[in-house]
Each structure stands twice: as structure tokens, then as C-alpha cells.
Amino acid sequence: MTLESLQEELSQKDIKAQLLHLANLFPGGVCFSTSLGQEDQVITDIIARNKIPIRIFTLDTGRLFYETYELVDRTRARYKIDIDVFFPRHETVEELVTKKGFTSFYDSVENRKECCFIRKVEPLGRALAGAKVWITGLRADQSANRHDMPLVERDEQRQLIKFNPLIHWSFQQVLDYLKEFNVPYNPLHDKGFVSIGCAPCTRAIEPGEDPRAGRWWWEESKKECGLHVAS
């Protein structure tokens, strides 16, 4: 099956059918990475309520908000599911902090990307080891970098298929789904936090600001950590 034919086939299905199709097509090889954001909670709800055999994992950078950790436990309890947790390698974190301190990411984009690589990108590689399909909660209107991302793409770096089931969803659709199915979400969203990452690197945004404005607000960049790069 070609990437084009898979995209065409999936585009004719709703999200539940899409996830079921991938799980059947790649048994034991489909995984979903959740950062516990609103979009990710939608996908977790669909997987869990329909008992779709897709592995769910998250990355703990060691710098997350308490509310995010609490949401992991609430989600596990609500759906009676496992969420695998991957941590950065402690030796690498110790070396970074020893040499550059706890807040080197404020000093330059290069330092911030180094921290993101250590705490997020490298653990992601381990989490995806052996996977055939990687499911994400990306939406096209989250950032300019994500605007042209397709429903299905080939991640050449990691040699797997990347599936973005919510890529064409609007933010309002996400909110409507959360309300309809009473899906647990991070209470920080109600305080102006749209995109929630590490606590030192995330702030609430003002009305009218770009959704990614609250991430690494002190720098001029594409507001990405390296997990998702446009093909």
C-alpha cells in the first residue's frame, strides 16, 4: 500500500474508523504520543472508549506543570488505561544542568533547542522504536509550520508513517468534542494557556494572540521543539 492510497482510504473515514483501520493494518505497530493537550485528550478518548489497540505514551521532561501530571492520573483513572511514560536520560540532563545551569534555554534559541532535544526529542526516539505508525494531535491552524501538514505523511527521519487525524479540525470542534463527551482536560486551558509544555517555557496568551505565542515567548522562532518538522 502506498502512502497516497492510504491517505485516500483514510480521508473517506471518520476518526474512529481511521484509528481502527490503522490498528488492524499494523497490528501492534501503532502508537499515539500525547502531551495531554486538548487535541490529544480527544484522541485518547476515542481510543479508550472504543478499546482500539493503540499504545499511548507521553514524555515527561521533568519540567511539566503540576496540573499536567495530575491530568495523566485523572485520564488513567477515567479510562482504565495505561499511559507509558518516557523520561530523558538522567546523565544527559545532569551534564546539561551542571555545565549551563537550570535555565540556559532563556539565553539563546540554540540552548533552548538543546534542552528540547535532551528532554523531548531523544526520549521520543526511544518511545517510537519499533513503531510502524505514529499518531499525533496536530492541527493545521496551530502554527505556520503545521499549516500544510497532510493527514498522512512519511517521517523519513524515523522511518514510519505519521498520522495527523485532527489536522483539519478547528479549535471549536475540539472544544465541542470535549464538552459533548465530558473529556478531562488541563484546567490551565481555562486560564489562557492554549499550548502547554514545560512550565518555565509556557505562559498564558492574551485574546487575539497566536495560539503558539505562549511557547518560548522570549524568542523569535518557529515555536517548535523539534518533535514535529514539516516534510
Q: Considering the entire predicted model, what is its pTM?
A: 0.90
| Residue with the three cell numbers 476515542 | 46
Separation of alpha carbons 74 and 85, rounded Å? 15
Query: From the first residue on, what is the mean pLDDT of each consecutive set of 10 residues in the chain (231 residues)?
Result: 90 96 97 97 98 98 97 98 98 98 95 96 96 94 71 92 95 96 97 94 90 85 54 45
pLDDT of amino acid 227: 59
Backbone angles phi, psi at 203, to 5 degrees: -135, 165
Task: Provide the 3-class DSSP secondary structure of residue 133.
Answer: strand
Separation of alpha carbons 135 and 29, rounded Å? 11
Query: What superfamily does domain 3-201 belong to in CATH?
Result: HUPs (3.40.50.620)
Report how far apart, in Å, the C-alpha atoms of 158 and of each of 34, 112, 132, 133, 169 are: 18, 22, 10, 10, 25
Catalytic residue from among 31, 116, 198, 225: 225
pLDDT of amino acid 231: 45
Where b means 16+ CB within 10 Å and e means fewer, 24-59 reads ebbeebbbbbbbbbbbbbbbbbbbbeeebebbbbbb
Separation of alpha carbons 225 and 221, rounded Å? 10
- Angle among Cα 9, 143, 217 to the nearest 5 degrees reads 150
Domain locations in the chain? 3-201
Identify whether 31 is a catalytic site residue.
no
